[in-house]
Each structure stands twice: as C-alpha cells, then as structure tokens.
A and B are shown apart, each in its own frame.
Chain A
Amino acid sequence: MEVKRHTIKLVVNNKPDVLARIAGVFSARGFNIESISANVTMDPNVTKIRIVTMGDTSTVTKIQNQLKKLVDVLSVSHVRESKQGQREMILMQVKLTDKNRNDVMKAIDELQCKIVTRKSDYCILEATGSEEELEILVQRFDSLGIEDLSRSGVVAL
C-alpha cells in the first residue's frame, strides 16, 4: 500500500501526562511522527494537537484506533485537507558577511521573508508558507549560511 503523509488532529484534555500517553502509543506500536504541534484552544481545559505521520492508510487507521482508546483523548480525526490549506512558520538565523549580504537581502526580498532582528553579523527571519515553499526557502538560505532555525510544523483550517 502507498506510504503517504497523513495529518491526524486530536483534541485532548490539557493535563500533564497526556502528551506522554500519546507519544507512548506511537513508540510502543512503532508508528512514526514526522512533526507534531500542540497549542491551547479557546477552552483552557483542552489542547489541540496535530501530528503528521508517514504511513499507508491502514497504518493510519490503526494509529487512530489506538489513540481513541486513551481516556484523555476527546476526539481524533484524520485531516483530508487540501495541500493549499496547510501553512507552516519558520524562524531562521542567517549569517551576514560582506560577501553574502547582497545575496541574502535579495533572497529575503524574493521569498517575502520578514526581518525580525538585524545585527551586523546575522539576521533573524520569519516566514510563513506551505511546507514545500518553506523547503525551497530553507534550501536557498542554507546555501547562504543558516546558523539556526526552528519550524512550527503545519497547521490548517
């Protein structure tokens, strides 16, 4: 069966060990996590979690069935969102030297990044986009000298 990227969305009780339980299901059953993001919702008692995993459809069904069994998991859904809806954010620290400065500025302009901080020897950039767009962005800046980066994982509506 075809191995694809799947997104699973969970609504869970906001309790100290709920994440450990969820992560435990993945590790105990050998399911993989590509990326995961979690944040509070308008209701302080519940947290929304998005997990991106690689697998065939039967594996994804198995994962969902196991997650549904956790007492603190309120709902599990498999998101069939169109790729266009997916957004991700990135923060990047890029090295600035006399040699690369112009190229960096050009890339910032072309790729529509926002400069958060600019110092003499580095800048921190913020960008949002689809996963693929950010992939391209990272490749471009990597050739210019990424010193540090942090990605959020995708979200969608």
Chain B
Amino acid sequence: MKIKGAEILLRALSDEGVDTIFGYPGGVVLDIFDEIYKSKFKHILVRHEQGAAHAADGYARASGKVGVCLVTSGPGATNTVTGIATAYMDSIPIVVFTGQVATPLLGSDAFQEADITGITRPCTKHNFIVRKVEDLARTVKEALYIARSGRPGPVLVDIPKDVSQAMTEYHESGPPKAPAHDPIYVPDVTALNEALRMIKQAKKPVVMVGGGVILGKASQELREFIEKVQIPVTHTLMGIGAFPGTDPLSLGMPGMHGTYYANMALTQCDLLINIGARFDDRVTGKLDEFAKNAKIIHIDIDAASINKNVIVDLPIVSDCKSALQQLNKMLLQNHFTIPEKDRKAWTQQIDEWKEYAPLSYCAGEKIKPQCVIETIYKLTKGDAIIATEVGQNQMWAAQFYKFNHPNTFLSSGGLGTMGYGFPAAIGAQIAFPDKTVVDIAGDGSIQMNIQELATAVVYNIPVKICILNNGFLGMVRQWQEIFYERRYSHTNISQIPDFVKLAEAYGAVGLRATKPEEMEAILEKGLNTPGPVIMDIHVEPEEGVYPMVRPGSPISDMDLGR
C-alpha cells in the first residue's frame, strides 16, 4: 500500500525505537505534523526551535539514546543551528529533521527557504537532503545510525515539502550502509599490552577521562579498571560522572578552573592515560608545559582526535568500553598487583596537594554561590540530574556538586552555549520523569531561553531552575576584573527582570532568597514543590571562580584566589 512521505518518516522513526520528538510546526512540515496528530508519538511543543535542539540534546545526554527534533524550513531550521553546533562540539547524538521548500523551488530563494544543509555542513557529523520519497525511509535509518555510531554527533535531514507529500510503499530498510564508515571498536591488543607495561613501570601515573567514557557507556568498566590499578583520576567537564566524584582517587576537574591537585598531578605525572578526552585547550593550558615529563597513552574512538593537539606516545583507536573491558581482562589474567611501594611517594604528594589547596570559598554577608551548589548537593543527596548554563554557574556546579553517576551532568562544554541548560533540563526530565532535574543558571544565561518556561508549565515538566543571580554576566565580568582593570564594559545586567514575577506570569512557582540564613530553606522548599520552579538566589555579585589559570599559561600556574 502506498503511504505519504510524512507517514513514512514516522514509521521509520518508530522502527528505530524513537518515541519522543521535540519540535515546532510551520508551513512545509504541515503534512508531518498532521501525521503526528494521528499517531502515538510524544511530541513536545517548544517555544523556540533552539529550545527543541537543546532539549533533544539534553534527552540524549541523560538517556544515552538519540534525541530527535523536527522544525520547519528557513528560520525554523536556522534557529536550530546553535543547538546543532552545541551537540557537534560535545559529540551528542541528535537527529534534526528540517522541512524544506518543495524540490522544484530549491535554489530559487522561495519563501522560508534556507540552504540548511550548506549552513550546517561544518557543524554536523553528516547531513542529508532527501530529494525522492523512495529514499526517505533509508535516510532516516542511516541518519540515526550515523548519529549514534562511532564518535556520535548531530545529523540533519532536510525534507522538502513535496517529498513529505509524495506517496510510496513503505518497506523497513535493511541494516544501514555506510561502508567505509564503520568505526573501529576493537582495540589493538599489542597496544594494550604495551599500555599495561607502561602502567606497571609508572611511578607517578594519572588517568584523565573525558566524555568518551560516558558516550561509550564505559563508566562501570572504568571503575573496575581504576579499582585494579589504583591510579588517581581526573575528569574533564564532559567526563563528569564517569568516575565517582566522592571516590578518594578522584582529583576532580583539571584545566582553567580545575583543582590545584588535578593540575599539579597532570604537570608532574610520568604517565598520563587519557581515556576518551580530546585535549581541549581549556584543559591543557600552554601545550609545551602540559604533562611534559609524561609518557602519554590516548584511547579514543576518533583517530582524528589523536595527535591533534598533544603528541602522544601510545595511541589506541577504540571505543572506551572495548578498550577498558580488554584491559580489565588482561589485568586479571596477568594477576596484576599494584606496585605499592613504587607509588607511595606519589600518593603522599597528591594528598599534600589536596590538603594545601582544596576547593574552598570564604563565607560572607551575602549568599555565596559555591555554598548554593553545596546545599543543592546536600538536599538532593547527590542524586539529581544537573544541567548548567555557561559561565560561572557552570564552573561552580562542576566544582562543588559531587557527581557519582554518568549521564547526570548536562553542560555545553565545547561550544559554551548560554541558554543551553534549561531546555536541556526539559529534555532530560522527559527522559526521566521521576528524577529531580535541576538547571543551575546565571541571571544572564537563563534569559536566553526563558521562553521554554511555557513548555515546562504546559506539560508540567517539573524542572527546578536555580538562578545564581549576581546582576552580572559573571564570567566576563571576572575577566574584566582580572585582565581589564575592572572596566565592566556592558556586563552589568542589573538584576532585571523580577524572576519571581516572571515565573508567576508563566504559571510556574517563583521563590527568592537574598540572605545566607534563608537560602537553604528556600532551596528545600523549591526542590520539594511540584511542577516547574524558579529559585532566584541573590548571590555575592563579584564572587570569582577559582582556581584560575590564565589563558596560554601552563596549568601549574594557578591563581588560587586567596
């Protein structure tokens, strides 16, 4: 039986296990929305297409499944670009379906036409334009496969209106074909043996884990590995939750706002094992000084990430799970024991660093933002999904909330997208309706996608927004304070609007705390109130994020802020 392209799209998605779409309708996707109306699909109507892309991203990060969104052509499509680029930089599997003007009009500057495949070519893993309805089902299947396989990433599928209207037979497609594109999952055994030899010889080893461990669902394997080799672990921003933050071997985050002890350990180690991190400049600081006395092992599924910024001694192209499984097996077979006396001095050294400069802040007359994060950690027993915006709020959340589980920290690491956190939190809450989901925001970032409060209220998505309200674009202000002699050019945003009234205007609950003594009670009340809540916490306006490494400096050169 012949059916419409629009119906084929939904059937193909359904066959791939997709049941949730974040989207926004428009002229050229009317046929698709008409099919959604008749189907059992869960469609979340956002208020801005950027929100749809971020929500699909948050859904993907929290659930480990592919996030899907659907928007119209032209401005609908271009509005998703920031969301796509965000997912691209952090390797998040999402598929964005965009409507397009009918094929005879392509290239004619038709109403609401945008060359979205051209626009997104550099920020998608791959993109498609479907010119024939016969290609639609297979393209959907390939798009999802490409998004989730190997190093994941966003894929865009552009569907002209006449394609979604055309009729054809639907056949479930066979396995996706991307012949040369099947990623290498299996590590080279010789290289792993070499890695074990290096681990045995090391006196001062450090493991650095990144988002690859979470994307590769290798957190359990990592824990087993560390249990056996007893090497201290630092995690990048994207690797938060891959290894328990409360474990004595955890060094926290390295880099620009990393811990003193993580940065010192990276600088002085003699062996660095990088598992699924990409040596971002925010992590390495000055490249010449980075782990300069260390042998470096780099496990990454993307061969292009290896030797890109840092030249390594032992590259291992593999996904993190296979590599760690294999390493664990080999450790067991070889009856690996920790060369304890060899490592003693290193363990002591790290303990000394931890004692010398733990993450800390001074209490004051105003509420300290770090204390807000610690209180949220305490009240949620470390068991919430935390989304963040970008800036100081993001760094404090990364520093002061101890994450023990993967897929519970959602943050735009690579692109640094303000306005990411709230829609991402909505996506995560859709994936896990019963979990506590908190968006840690700044008063700047939250205004970039505040319109999604309507989405949260309409669907009763109980995301808790905690605004660390300092009246500034705080991170930029901090740089102006340090590098521009406190000339606060256009970073004072004057604590406008009134977020309590704003929450109420949308039909959500708004709460406010301005004094340290009321902060915990307000947070407790907010977290326990059903439905979406904004907690507007007025914090010390000129608090800074420390430690801090100046851009271009070696990471051992830290300003501890004291």
Q: Do A and B come into direct contact in the complex, CB within 8 Å? A: yes
Interface residues on B, range: 10 to 19
Contact in complex: A58, B181 (CB < 8 Å): no
Complex Cα–Cα for A61 and B179 (A):
21
B152 vs chain A, min Cβ distance (A)? 12
Contacts A28-B122, A71-B126 given: A65-B180 contact, CB under 8 Å?
A: no
Determine which of B121, B304, B311 lies in contact with A68 in the assembled complex, contact meaning CB atoms within 8 Å.
B304
Q: State which of B179, B302, B308, B311 has its C-beta within 8 Å of the C-beta of A69.
A: B302
Rounded to whole Å, the gap between the CB of A75 and the closest CB of chain B is 6
**Cβ-defined contact, A71 with B303, below 8 A:** no
Closest residue of chain A to B311, judged by CB?
A58
In A66-89, the 8 Å CB interface with B consists of 66, 68-71, 73-75
Nearest Cβ on chain B to A31's Cβ, whole angstroms: 12
Q: Is B146 an interface residue (CB 8 A)?
A: yes
A residues near B363, Cβ cutoff 8 Å? none
CB distance from B66 to the nearest CB of A (A): 16
B180 touches A75 (CB 8 A): yes
- B112 adjacent to chain A (CB < 8 Å): no
Shortest beta-carbon distance from A108 to chain B in Å: 45
Residues of B within 8 Å of A70, CB to CB, are: 126
The answer to whether A66 and B117 touch (CB under 8 A), given A71-B181, A73-B180, is no
Does A42 reach chain B (CB closer than 8 Å)? no
Residue of A24, A61, A74 touching B180 (CB-CB under 8 A): A74
Cα(A66)–Cα(B125), bound, Å: 11
Q: Is A6 an interface residue (CB 8 A)?
A: no
Residues of chain B within 8 A of A74, CB atoms compared: 179-180
Cβ-defined contact, B303 with A68, below 8 A = yes
Q: Does B362 contact A (CB under 8 A)?
A: no
A73-B179 Cα distance, complex, nearest whole Å: 9
How many residues on the A side are at the interface (Cβ–Cβ under 8 A)? 17
A68 to B303, CA, bound (A): 9
B residues near A28, Cβ cutoff 8 Å: 122
Chain B residue numbers with a CB within 8 Å of A24 are 121-122
Once A17-B117, A17-B121, A71-B146 are accepted as A-B contacts, the answer to whether A62 and B180 lie under 8 Å apart by CB is no
A101 close to B (CB within 8 Å): no
Q: Which residues of B284-330 are within 8 A (CB) of A?
A: 302-304, 306-308, 311
**A66 x B126 contact (CB < 8 A):** no
Given the contacts A68-B303, A69-B304, A71-B146, A21 and B121 also touching, CB distance less than 8 Å: yes
B180 shortest CB reach to chain A, Å: 4
B304: which A residues are within 8 A, CB to CB?
62, 65-66, 68-69
B308 to chain A: which residues have CB within 8 Å?
62
A157 contacts across to B, CB distance below 8 A: none
Q: In the assembly, what is the distance between CA of A39 and CA of B171, in Å?
A: 34
Cβ of B178 under 8 Å from chain A: yes
Query: Chain A residues near B121 (CB, 8 Å)?
Result: 17, 20-21, 24
Most A CB within 10 A of own CB, among B117, B121, B146, B304: B304
A75 CA / B180 CA spacing, docked (Å) = 7
Q: Which residues of B contact A66 (CB under 8 A)?
A: 304
Chain B CB within 10 Å, residue with most, of A21, A58, A69: A69
CB atoms of B181 and A62 under 8 A apart? no
B519 to chain A, nearest CB (A): 46
Cα(A69)–Cα(B153), bound, Å: 12
Indicate if the CB atoms of A58 and B179 lie closer than 8 Å. Answer: no
Distance in angstroms between the alpha carbons of A21 and B146 in the assembled complex: 16
Q: Nearest residue in B to A67 (C-beta to C-beta)?
A: B304
Q: Is the CB of B302 within 8 A of A61?
A: no
- For B307, the chain A residues whose CB sits under 8 A away are 58, 61-62
A58 to B180, CA, bound (A): 23
A65 in contact with B303 (CB, 8 Å): yes
Complex CA–CA separation, A129 to B376 (angstroms): 73
Query: For residue B142, which residue of chain A has the nearest CB?
Result: A71
List A contacts of B303 (CB < 8 A).
65, 68
Q: Please measure, in the bound complex, the distance between the C-alpha atom of A17 and the C-alpha atom of B125, giving whole angstroms.
A: 14
Q: Which residues of A contact B179 (CB under 8 A)?
A: 74
By beta carbon, the residue of chain B nearest A66 is B304
Q: How far is the CB of A57 from chain B (nearest CB, A)?
A: 11
Kindly report which residue of chain B lies nearest to residue A72, judged by CB atoms: B126
Q: Give bound CA distance, A61 to B311, whole Å.
A: 12
A133 CB → nearest B CB, Å: 35
Chain A residues with CB under 8 Å of B118's CB are: 17, 20
B residues 125-150 touching A (CB-CB < 8 Å):
125-126, 146
- Nearest CB on A from B138, distance (A): 13
Closest B-chain residue to A73, C-beta based? B180
Q: A28-B122, A62-B304, A71-B146 are known; give 6 further A-B pairs, CB within 8 A.
A: A17-B121, A21-B121, A58-B311, A69-B125, A73-B180, A74-B179
Give me the interface of A with B, judged by CB distance under 8 Å: 17, 20-21, 24, 28, 58, 61-62, 65-66, 68-71, 73-75
* 8 nearest A-B residue pairs (beta carbon): A65-B304, A71-B126, A74-B180, A65-B303, A66-B304, A28-B122, A71-B181, A24-B121
A-B contact pairs, 25 of them (CB 8 A): A17-B117, A17-B118, A17-B121, A20-B118, A20-B121, A21-B121, A24-B121, A24-B122, A58-B307, A58-B311, A62-B304, A65-B304, A66-B304, A68-B180, A69-B125, A69-B151, A69-B302, A69-B304, A70-B126, A71-B125, A71-B178, A71-B181, A73-B180, A74-B179, A75-B180
